[in-house]
Amino acid sequence: MNDMQFTDRAVDQKETKIAAHGVNVHYGEAHAIKDVNVEIEDKTVTAFIGPSGCGKSTFLRCLNRMNDTIDICNVTGNILLDGEDIYDKRVDPVQLRAKVGMVFQKPNPFPKTIYDNVAYGPRIHGLAKNKADMDEIVEKALRRGAIWDEVKDRLDKPGTGLSGGQQQRLCIARAVATEPEVLLMDEPCSALDPIATAQVEELIDELRTQYSVVIVTHSMQQAARVSQKTAFFHLGTLVEFGHTGQIFTNPEDPRTESYITGRIG
Amino acid sequence: MPTLWLVVSLLVLSAAGFVFGRQRAMSSAEGNAKELHSLPSYYGHNVAFTTLLPALGALAIWLLVQPMFIESRISQLIPEELAPDRQTLGLVMSDVGRVAEGLDVAIAKGALSADEAKSLRTELTDVRARLGEVGVALGADVRPEVLEAAQQYRVMSKTGNVLMAVFVAVLALGGFSWSYMQTHKDFRARNVVEKGILSLLILAASLAILTTIGIVLSMFFETINFFKLHNAADFFFGRTWAPNFRGDSELSILPLLWGTLYVSVIALLVAVPVGLFAAVYLSEYANNTVRAFAKPLLEILAGIPTIVYGLFALLTVGPLLVGTFGKGGFLGVEWMAGATSVLTAGVVMGIMLIPFVSSLSDDIINAVPQAMRDGSLGLGATRSETIRQVVLPAALPGIVGAILLAASRAIGETMIVVMGAGAIAKFSGNPLDSMTTITTRIVSQLTGDTDFASPETLVAFALGLSLFVLTLGLNVLALYIVRKYREQYE
Ligand SMILES: Nc1ncnc2c1ncn2[C@@H]1O[C@H](COP(=O)(O)OP(=O)(O)O)[C@@H](O)[C@H]1O
Ligand SMILES: [Mg+2]
């Protein structure tokens, strides 16, 4: 693991953005997440790693209640966002998802123009007072998605016509446009080539200045490159959670060590 | 009967071929199946198919061609004065056929010996009476020429049948021995069987296509006959539909087309919103239990024969509309005279089309990738926002295709309009008026007892062909749109 370079570790302790306690998830009979406790900090990139099927996506989707859309999925335990339980009856999952944005594994731009893709969220939430306002929001989001220069002359062209890496950055811009506080990313680079991956990683590092970012990844190098905290999942349990540098250089649990040295996976 | 026996013996021979072919293959490999190029049964199938298929094919073709051939030869025997034109010739020929058949029956019942049947003369015997005794009724006395032709007919078909049996048997035996001789452990039986199956499939596909072409061509020729008798400009651009028996009918398609389109539009106005909403509910909102229950129920609607819908129009919807808009109805207006109207037929046809639209749209909505929905929900959109702004726009081309397919079904639908729309051809904007459609007129023009060669009858073919072109155009357009949309997500 010598070839990994670690990003500068912020030493000072950040405030907790999301705190999960005793989270269990069942798909029908199957127990997919077993008693997970984790605290996700603000303005930090947290990576979820672990072998396929260990429940990374499932847990990530608990954080913005995307699991509500799956009939057989049942979540127990409590998850607090800024100290408020997001599974409380009074919380509207729709509003929650505006605060906790999500980027998916496969780029999924809507079959609309680039402009409309980005304007989609702000329109739904009524964030713009007029056209000029909206133009500004769209431009800002595209700039933050590091794709403005590439698309500024073709905003009225369909988003599906972009390359894979561009599409994924468009999706990030789209998620950013609704001004979320947390950004969840489920293997955002697995469908991308190395160059596009590098662009997205760079972008994630920039996003950290404003958001709390949670990223699921299969690539340990990627986790090491972009994250400050790492959580290792195995068979539905959270095995180890800590500073990325420590997890990769000096893991406490033998299972973590086996995984990062390539013995389980 | 002999044909049946022929087929049975072919089947037996082919079954024997299977057994022998397999055996020969095995013995050529000295009982060791691993030495064979193909599995033993492939050798058996090879012999069986080579025996059966060419012989069966020849049999089928022979059975089709022989009557045509004999008929054309016999019709030359009929003297000119008996059959001055093609139509009377047809009548005489069917007389000949009936007499020949009668003779067969008489022989079978023992009322005539085979020799007697051959030497029968109208001058000596009352053929009509003799045949009447065995239950074959003829309309008029048999003319000597007809009797002679019938006797000739029997002779020729008998020779033909013998020739056919011989030819088919030779073919089958030839195929049997050829493929049996070929059978050897290095023979690639598997590849040959594979090719045989391929050609069988191609044959089936081309039969379907050829039949379609045949249907279109037959309509086309009758349509040409129609235009020889009737002015094409009147058919396409006239304003009235008024067939009569004096020979100066006005036969224009336009009033019928108007009725057809009017009914179809009303049907779509009913079917598209209801079907689409049902599809959205079933694919986006309903949970598995509801879906498992509601989908089959909707599909039952699709299985109801259209004549039942017709009855529903006639007995329920029509009276209901009259009860509302008719004289003494509960609105107190007098807008509707009878139960049949464009609205009656349109509403019922719309009900018929609901499951069609909903199941097509359901497929199309399901084809929109889940990732689209997740993307929208993940941005904090509600379900209905997601459906309205992402799912439906993405599915739109497919849905348009589905609507066009529904339209083409509406245009071609017959029973509901026959029973619900009425029979008056006119241009009218009032949906409570009784109107008529292309399909109903085809039915009535062909089921009347008018002369088959008159323009009043032949117009049915011209109408049919126009309808065919119209629906074909719609289908092609719909398929084009649907296919283009499919590509988008692949
Ligand atoms: N929609 C679903 N329905 C039923 N089981 C599911 C569903 N999604 C995931 N699972 C199960 O939950 C477990 C965790 O899956 P997932 O969270 O996708 O793992 P990961 O993202 O770590 O590869 C797996 O065993 C998987 O089979
Ligand atoms: Mg996953």
Which of A:113-142 have CB within 8 Å of B? 120-121, 124-125
Indicate if the pLDDT at residue A10 is higher than 60. Answer: no
Domain boundaries, chain A: 2-260
CA B308 – ligand 2 centroid, Å: 52
pLDDT of residue B223: 93
Domain ranges of chain B: 3-187, 241-485
* A117 chain-B contacts, CB cut-off 8 A: none
User: Nearest-CA distance from A63 to chain B in Å?
Assistant: 11
The structure tokens listed for A108 are 């999924």
In percent, the amount of chain A with pLDDT more than 90 equals: 72
Ligand 1: residues with CB < 6 A are A 27, 30, 32, 50, 52-58, 70
The whole-angstrom separation of Cα A33 and Cα B417 is: 60
The pLDDT value recorded for residue B98 is 83
Q: For B178-234, what is each residue's pLDDT tens digit?
A: 999 988 888 888 999 999 899 999 999 999 999 999 999 999 999 998 998 888 888
CATH match of A2-260 with 3.40.50.300: yes
The answer to whether A95 contacts chain B (CB < 8 Å) is yes
Q: Is residue A242 very low, low, confident or very high in pLDDT (cuts 50, 70, 90)?
A: very high
Q: Does A27 touch chain B (CB under 8 A)?
A: no
Residue A40 predicted with pLDDT over 60: yes
What is the structure's pLDDT at B330?
78
Which residues have CB under 8 Å from A193's CB, separation 6+?
A: A164, A165
pLDDT of residue A2: 46
Dump the DSSP string for A129-183. SSHHHHHHHHHHHHHHTT-HHHHTT-TTSBGGGS-HHHHHHHHHHHHHTT--SEE
Which two three-digit tokens encode residue A127? Answer: 């964030």
Averaged pLDDT score across all residues of chain A: 90
Q: Is B141 on the interface with A (CB under 8 A)?
A: no
CA of A57 to the centre of ligand 1 (A): 7
Q: Of ligand 1's atoms, which has the minimum distance to the CA of residue A60? A: 17
* Per-residue CA distances from A200 to A6, A11, A131, B66, B201 (Å): 17, 25, 29, 77, 52
Residue B191 forms contact with A (CB below 8 Å): no
- Residue A7, pLDDT above cutoff 60: no
* Residue A222 reports pLDDT greater than 70: yes
From residue B302, give the alpha-carbon distance in Å to each of B305, B349, B400, B417. 8, 11, 20, 17
Tell whether B394 lies on the interface with A, counting CB pairs under 8 A: yes
DSSP B283: I
Cβ separation B372–A108 shorter than 8 A: yes
Q: Are A101 and B374 an interchain contact pair (Cβ–Cβ within 8 Å)? A: no
Structure confidence by residue, pLDDT tens digits, A137-175 = 999 999 988 899 999 999 999 998 898 889 999 999 999
State which residues of chain B have pLDDT below 50: 490
- Of A36-45, A49-58, B32-41, the least confident: B32-41
Report domain B241-485's class.
Answer: mainly alpha
ipTM > 0.85 (yes/no): yes
pTM > 0.90? no
Q: Which residues of B215-240 are buried (b: 16+ CB within 10 A; e: fewer)?
A: eeeebeebbeebeeebeeeebeebee
The number of the ligand 1 atom at minimal distance from the alpha carbon of A216 is 21
User: For residue B90, what are the CA distances in angstroms to B86, B217, B274?
Assistant: 6, 21, 53
| A13: confidence class by pLDDT, cuts 50, 70, 90 | low
Return the percentage of chain B with pLDDT > 70, whole number. 97
Q: Which residue has the higher pLDDT, B3 or A43?
A: A43
Cβ–Cβ of A108/B369 closer than 8 Å? yes
Identify the band that residue A1 occupies on the pLDDT scale cut at 50, 70 and 90: very low
Q: Is B489 on the interface with A (CB under 8 A)?
A: no
> Which residues sit with Cβ closer than 5 angstroms to ligand 2, an ion?
A 57
The alpha carbon of B362 and the centre of ligand 1 are apart by a number of angstroms equal to 26
| Residue in B371, B375, B385 nearest the CB of A124 | B385
Q: Report the half-sphere exposure of A222 (CA within 13 A, side-chain side).
A: 27
pLDDT tier, A3 (very low <50, low <70, confident <90, very high otherwise): very low
For atom 6 of ligand 1, the residue with the nearest CA is A27
Sheet with A30-41: strands ordered across? A30-41, A16-27, A73-81, A84-85
